[in-house]
Amino acid sequence: MGFRLANTDGRAALVFGDNYYDLEKLSGGKIGSDPMEALAEVDTLGDLSAGLAEQTPTGRLEDVRLGSPSPRPRNCYGIGLNYRNHAEEGGMPIPDAPLVFTKFPSCIVGPDDDVEMRSDYVDYEGELVAVIGRGGKDIAVGDGWKHVAGLCVGQDISDRPAQFAAAPPQFNLGKSFDTYGPMGPILVSPDELPEGGAMELVTKVNDEVRQKDSTGDLIFDVPTLVSYLSHITTLNPGDVIFTGTPGGVGVFGGKLLKDGDVITTSIEGLGTVTNRCVRVADHPRADVVPLPIKNAMAGKSPG
């Protein structure tokens, strides 16, 4: 049995329709209130979900503040250039192995939280996000989905000057500013979704559609990423994988984020993440715009 897991005001809850059911109460105290604890109990989450229709809901989702379904992962990975059209718009070759970087777990925020931008060259990247349930090491590709607790929507917000401040570029810091990892709104287990995980992803800035693609177009799909990473690092319950963004990011169209912009990212079957952009203090390299960014904004190859 599948499940839908939410972080309601910091407490783990199962979701049925528009209602949520507090997991600690529902489980009779067997599972604590911490969403990280719930992610290590995927079998129990499935069992409890089977009986939700007969339970009294704790409340309605619209009345609570949702946090990230995995608020404090031990590790958070990002994948670069994982859609053909995004590699092509950047003038980059199609990678023959996953291009992996880290997003520090401290960048993760809830699905409706503000993004605090520290330069005028901050970009959106709408992404499918996978969260690990059963941990493991040396996982075969064919077993990859068994280790995924669920999928949700994420924004891999990217400060382009920090990303390209040095040569060769180093992605980790530029994608790890505080608030640069909104994710949610709820975590949906794979068996509740289309087989293979092909769903439409749409990113809008204000009312303008900037990205529209199918998550079925991932070059390295979710089970492949799970397997690849697990042969290098042990995967832990709650670990997060931002699987990469399709074409249409701001830097190549000269449309970077501005103070007050609202980014809306939706994936069919998973819901919508809505983030308002707030321009705060500059970071130390905010006014140093590297040549690849200037080229990209002028419509030239970033290299």
Based on CB atoms, which residue is closest to Zn ion, 41 or 156?
156
Nearer to Zn ion, 125 or 261 (CB): 125
- Output 19 or 224, the one with its CB closest to Zn ion: 224
Determine if the peptide bond prior to 168 is cis (ω within 30°): yes
Of the two residues 70 and 245, which places its CB atom closer to Zn ion in the complex? 245
Give min distance, CB of 79 to Zn ion, in A.
7
Contacts of 232 (CB under 8 A, 6+ apart): none
Residue closest to Zn ion, measured at CB: 156
DSSP string covering 51-80: TGGGSPPSEEGGGS-EE-SSSS-S-EEEEE
Residue closer to Zn ion, measured from CB, 155 or 189: 155
Minimal distance in Å, beta carbon 244 to Zn ion?
Answer: 6
For 271, phi and psi rounded to 5 degrees? 105, -160
In angstroms, rounded to a whole number, what is the distance separating the alpha carbons of residues 289 and 177? 17
CB of 245 to Zn ion, least distance (A): 4
Q: Is 259 exposed, middle or buried (0-12, 13-18, 19+ CB in 10 A)?
A: exposed
Locate 180 and state its tokens. 């640069």
Residue found under tokens 């290590």: 40
Listed in sequence order, the residues at least 6 apart from 207 whose beta carbon sits closer than 8 Å to its beta carbon are none
Q: Please, what is the minimum distance in Å from the beta carbon of residue 294 to Zn ion?
A: 21
In the bound complex, what is the minimum distance in angstroms from residue 164's beta carbon to Zn ion? 14
Tokens of 188: 């949906």
For 97, other C-beta atoms within 10 Å of its C-beta total 7
Give whichever of 113 and 156 is closer to Zn ion, judged by the CB atom: 156
Q: Report the nearest approach of Zn ion to the CB of residue 127 (Å).
A: 6
Q: Which is nearer to Zn ion, 12 or 100 (CB)?
A: 100
Smallest separation, CB 292 to Zn ion (Å): 16
Report the Cα 138 to chain-centroid distance in Å.
23
Q: Which residues bind Zn ion (CB under 5 A)?
A: 125, 156, 245
Biggest alpha carbon distance in the chain? 60
